[in-house]
Structure 1
């Protein structure tokens, strides 16, 4: 299993010392079968007066920090090492009944999948776009459907860096034929749910072999997981067109993107006191020698 190291630094800068309210962090990787956390460190300056760790309803790690000190800079540095096992999505792994779409999830699975099946958009334009991946009779090969949708978004939509908060409506993404990784993920989730396939939003990091390419790997990343009987939750990255979890470090899985913000909090001072926010992310693979230690 390859070993990946992730360093994520976020800093806020102010003209004069300001006070800080509660800050909520989702920075520690999930403990899943295909990724094993070896080390996870969180360094915060100024040091919080109190920090607590919890798990949310989806099993994601959430840290909450409280502060007493004022400062001109608030800095969060998260460093983690994990063993990462790349997995593929093979048609042979799908249960026989689910190899052809449409299919019905088992009665024992439906309650847990309900929030991941709830429609995100019921606009006719979105429904027509999703239906284009089906045959005339409304059927499809499940494996081909999922792979084709992932690669079609990568091929026909422009991936852009978008720094505004929130996500675009899926119909807007369709009309613009462009969006950030979170916009493209939201479009695919809405389309899959329109077809009756459970899908959820994933946030984390993407490791690229080309360290000079910062367009995707230089920031936090977002993609999709769909639930398929047999393999379970499978990763699909419409921004890159990749299927499977290769090079993806999973931090949080949620039903709505707003629930997976890596870092959010408040500060107390004049609006003019805020100078800048800076974010730097580095994902690197260990050398063969380091991995063998």
Structure 2
């Protein structure tokens, strides 16, 4: 069954005095696919932009390139979307016989297309990440791909503590393992690096999470009130399957993707520049509302 979601994403930068605003890139439009249809989008920018140009980047993400009027003492970007989401299959997603057991066997063309998602982003000279990933392989019996990925997703959720981090950037996987805590982007980065070392193609996903506690007061999921991050892993005949180690979610309609990239630093919802004194910046507020219709 499909679900329709209305999303409002507001980012508000505040300055002590008028500053010169440079060009900004906004990544806000959910990604159309066979299981997600974008019904409507709108974007409101304050101050009114001098120019807006839409294009797709190298990852086929939709980008709005805006030049706000300057000088100004604020920049407010409100992005609104409505989507119909049928959701990918959850734990019972189908797989090719080439993918059912570890190690997975990609075809030559697949390896060519997926090479940037197969290559680890971080070096691992001490083998720390490799050792951590290897614990999900059953040495004395056949290891199923489905079981391996489900177990890793659940292990991160159960063994690590979620913390909201408002500062930009992402922890290295080594920091996340040492601290046993992080934000959603940190858990996604850890899982991506781990599965890549086991031979699975994985990419970082930024987007939105529908949290049912908005309607039920059952506050058990993490990521609402901001953008969310998770992992997609490519499996032959199944495609890009979503895994959310922050909330132990696999597939379904609760994850609404906006941007994908090989690393978190390449999937920012909003980036740009301004010209003024460092003390002029008063702060940034981000709010996200996701409402399910019906």
How far is 1:139 from its partner? Answer: 4.7
1:248 aligns with: 255
Matched, 1:21 2:22: yes
Kindly provide the CA deviation profile for residues 183-230 of structure 1, in whole angstroms up to 9, marking residues without a partner as x: 000000000000000000000000011115485211100000000111
Encode CA deviations 1:11-63: one digit per residue, 9 max, x unaligned: 11112221100101111111111110000000001111111111011111011
User: What is the CA deviation profile of residues 124-169 of structure 1, one whole-angstrom value per residue up to 9, with x for unaligned ones?
Assistant: 1111110000011585101100100001100101111112221111
1:181–1:223: 8 Å Cα contact kept in structure 2? Answer: yes
Q: Is the 8 A contact 1:91 1:99 kept in 2?
A: no
**Does residue 78 of structure 2 align to residue 71 of structure 1?**
no
Question: 1:244 Cα shift?
Answer: 0.8
Contact 2:195 2:201 survives alignment (8 Å): yes
Q: Which residue of 1 aligns with 2:213?
A: 210
- Partner of 2:266: helix, strand, or coil? helix
The 3 A distance-change label for structure 1 pair 226 and 115 is same
Q: How does 1:133-152 map to 2 (within 5 A)?
A: 133-137=136-140, 139-152=142-155
1:27–1:201 CA distance, 2 compared to 1 (3 A): same
3-state SS of the aligned residue for 2:213? Answer: coil
TM-score (norm 2): 0.94
- Where 2:112 maps in the other structure, the secondary structure is helix
Partner of 1:170: 173
Q: Which residue of 1 aligns with 2:237?
A: 230
Deviation at 1:120, TM superposition (A): 2.6
Q: How many angstroms apart in 1 are the aligned matches of 2:93 and 2:10?
A: 41
2: CA distance between counterparts of 1:229 and 1:126?
Answer: 25
Show CA shifts across 1:67-102 (max 9, x none).
Answer: 333221211000100001122245561111211110
Instruction: Give 2:188's match in structure 1, choosing from 170, 185, 188.
Output: 185
Report the counterpart of residue 290 of structure 1 in structure 2. none
Aligned to 1:62: 63
Shift in CA distance, 181/224, structure 1 to aligned 2, threshold 3 Å: same
Aligned to 1:258: 265
CA RMSD, 1 decimal: 1.5
- 4+ residue runs of structure 1 moved beyond 3 angstroms? 89-92, 212-215
Aligned residue for 2:152, secondary structure, equals: helix
> Residue 108 of structure 1 aligns to a residue in which SS?
helix
Q: Match of 1:3? A: 4
**In structure 2, what is the Cα distance between the partners aligned to 1:215 and 1:224?**
15
Q: 1:128 aligned to 127, 131, 134, which one? A: 131
| Residue 279 (1) aligns with residue 286 (2) | yes
Question: What's the CA shift string for 1:90-127, capped at 9, x where partnerless?
Answer: 55611112111102201121111000000233241111
Partner Cα separation in structure 2 for residue 282 and residue 238 of structure 1: 22
For 2:6 and 2:32, the matched residues in 1 are separated by 15
